[in-house]
């Protein structure tokens, strides 16, 4: 090769000679793609809703989507239950009367427990009053005894 040969020409000369190592060294050092990886930033997307539910009026939504759910029900261990007034109720033909009876008995039981608590409170108050009057009577008896003894000494 000549004196004014360029780098690519020298690399090709090495390939012709049978040793292509010079070419790979030069390709590796050539800044064709740049040293750092910096992809182009994508612009932020507009957050548009994919559904048009917000544009429907309430009655149309109820008709289209069936928003009238009714009473929640479930089957558990072969027994059907429904959710009414904040409680799960067994939903079988013969047990509805039993359930009402159970509810009535629970309510009556709660009333009796409240009445029992009130009566216990009244008994506690009466016992406190009794102990207070007993203590006062003992004090009066002691004072009376002291007065009797004091009056006997003066005589």
3-state secondary structure of 45: coil
Q: What does the mean pLDDT of the chain come to?
A: 77
Residue-level pLDDT at 7? 55
Supply the pTM of this predicted model.
0.37
Token digits for 117?
Answer: 């608590």
- Across 5-14, 24-33, 59-68, 100-109, the highest mean pLDDT is recorded for 100-109
Residue-level pLDDT at 68? 66
Token digits for 134?
Answer: 């007993």
Contact 14, 21 (CB under 8 A): yes
Residue-level pLDDT at 111? 97
- Across 3-12, 99-108, 118-127, the highest mean pLDDT is recorded for 118-127
Question: Domain ranges in the chain?
Answer: 58-92
DSSP 80-112: EEEEETTEEEE--TTHHHHHHHHHHHHHHHHHH
- For tokens 């509810």, the residue is 103
pLDDT-based confidence at 98, cuts 50/70/90? confident
What is the pLDDT averaged over residues 3-26?
Answer: 55
Lowest mean pLDDT among 18-22, 113-117, 135-139: 18-22
Residue-level pLDDT at 54? 67
What is the pLDDT averaged over residues 25-44?
Answer: 68
How long a stretch of residues is the chain? 155
Residue-level pLDDT at 31? 60
Asked whether residue 64 carries a pLDDT value surpassing 50, the answer given is yes
Contact 15, 23 (CB under 8 A): yes
């Amino acid at each position: 090769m000549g004196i004014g040969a360029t780098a690519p020409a020298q690399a090709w000369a090495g390939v012709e000679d049978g040793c292509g190592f010079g070419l790979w060294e030069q390709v590796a050092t050539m800044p064709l793609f740049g040293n750092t990886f910096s992809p182009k930033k994508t612009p932020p997307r507009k957050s548009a809703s994919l559904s048009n539910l917000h544009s429907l009026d309430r009655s149309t939504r109820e008709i289209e989507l069936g928003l009238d759910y009714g009473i929640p029900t479930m089957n558990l261990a072969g027994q059907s239950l429904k959710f009414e007034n904040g409680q799960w109720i067994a939903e079988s033909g013969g047990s509805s009367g039993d359930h009402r009876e159970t509810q009535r008995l629970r309510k009556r039981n709660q009333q009796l427990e409240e009445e029992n608590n009130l009566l216990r409170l009244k008994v506690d108050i009466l016992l406190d009053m009794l102990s207070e009057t007993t203590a006062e009577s003992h004090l009066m008896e002691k004072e009376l005894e002291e007065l009797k003894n004091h009056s006997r000494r003066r005589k």
